[in-house]
Amino acid sequence: MSVIRPAAVAGLFYPASPEQLTHDVQQLLDEARRFDLHPKALIAPHAGYVYSGPIAATAYATIQSAASHIRRVILFGPTHRIAVRGLALPDADAFDTPLGRIMLDQKSADAISHLPQVTVNAQTHALEHSLEVHLPFLQTILEDFTLLPLAVGAASAEEVAEVMELLWGGDETLIVVSSDLSHYLPYDIAQRVDQATVQAILNLQQPIPHDQACGGTPISGLILAAQRHHLSPHLLDLRNSGDTAGTREQVVGYASFAFTGEQDHAKR
């Protein structure tokens, strides 16, 4: 019997109604700025869609032209509820969202299961939103794909990069890192802090501290992988909750990036 991880934050971070979710995601994508890029990897935020959805949509809109080639998504997101050492795989065969079922890539899981930093931890995944909120975007953009979701806890950038390296693949594989930026700073201060974080990512400088990005560890791992594979980062969108749906007294920062290979270097 298959083990299914049900949607945990439908109705909280995004609509639980399939019809409303389909409408909202498509509207976000339709309104997103388009970039002529061919990403190997993305960084995108994971807050409620009313706050970070437009910024995430900017990232996902960049893969629409390559959607027919992408068959596997490797998704890295930070843990928010359950502490874990290393990177945790779910104890599941599939993830459900209101838009349907996504089969997990057991072959890819087996390929990294020997690594000491990789464990299986169902509890870590049960209520984690940093991975789940990306799935409706992927289901809307991609035609047919498998997923490998990894919850990143106490790990080094090198440990994350080692996992990425084993799963790197070719054009059929998209790597997604889930992260917000600064948390609960006044608007003007958040802008300055987030701009510094963005510049570090664009310069491929790591480590990215957790107080500047909750997904700092997987971002740092992606930076190492990008250096090894000669990828270039492109900033797609940078805003915060004060720009989208919140007050400006305490905001959360959001950015989206695309990492591309040689063919896109001239388009920076």
234-250 pLDDT per residue, tens: 999 999 999 999 899 99
Token digits for 114?
A: 């020997």
Strand arrangement of the beta sheet that strand 94-97 belongs to: 4-5, 94-97, 100-103
Q: Give me the mean pLDDT over the 63-69 stretch.
A: 94
Q: Mean per-residue pLDDT for 85-113?
A: 98
CA angle 243, 212, 74 (to 5 degrees): 90
- Using CA atoms, how far apart are residues 4 and 55, in angstroms rounded to an integer? 29
CA distance 163 to 183: 28
Tally the residues of the chain: 268
Q: How far is CA 182 from CA 47, 116, 136, in A?
A: 12, 31, 24
Please say if the pLDDT value at position 139 is more than 90.
yes
Domains and CATH numbers, the chain: 4-267 (3.40.830.10)
**Cβ pair 233, 201 in contact under 8 A:** yes
Nearest-angstrom CA–CA distance, 255 and 253: 7
Which tokens in the block code for residue 187? 């608007």
What predicted TM-score, i.e. pTM, was given to this entire model? 0.96
Give the chain's mean pLDDT.
96
What is the number of other CB atoms lying within 10 angstroms of the CB of residue 114?
Answer: 8
The number of C-alpha atoms within 13 Å of 39 and in the hemisphere containing its C-beta is 28
266 secondary structure, DSSP code: G
At 177 the pLDDT is 99
CA distance 256 to 239: 9
1 pLDDT band, cuts 50/70/90, is: confident
pLDDT for res 267: 41
Q: Are 134 and 176 in contact (CB under 8 A)?
A: yes
SS3 191: helix
Count of C-beta atoms within a 10 Å radius of residue 267: 12
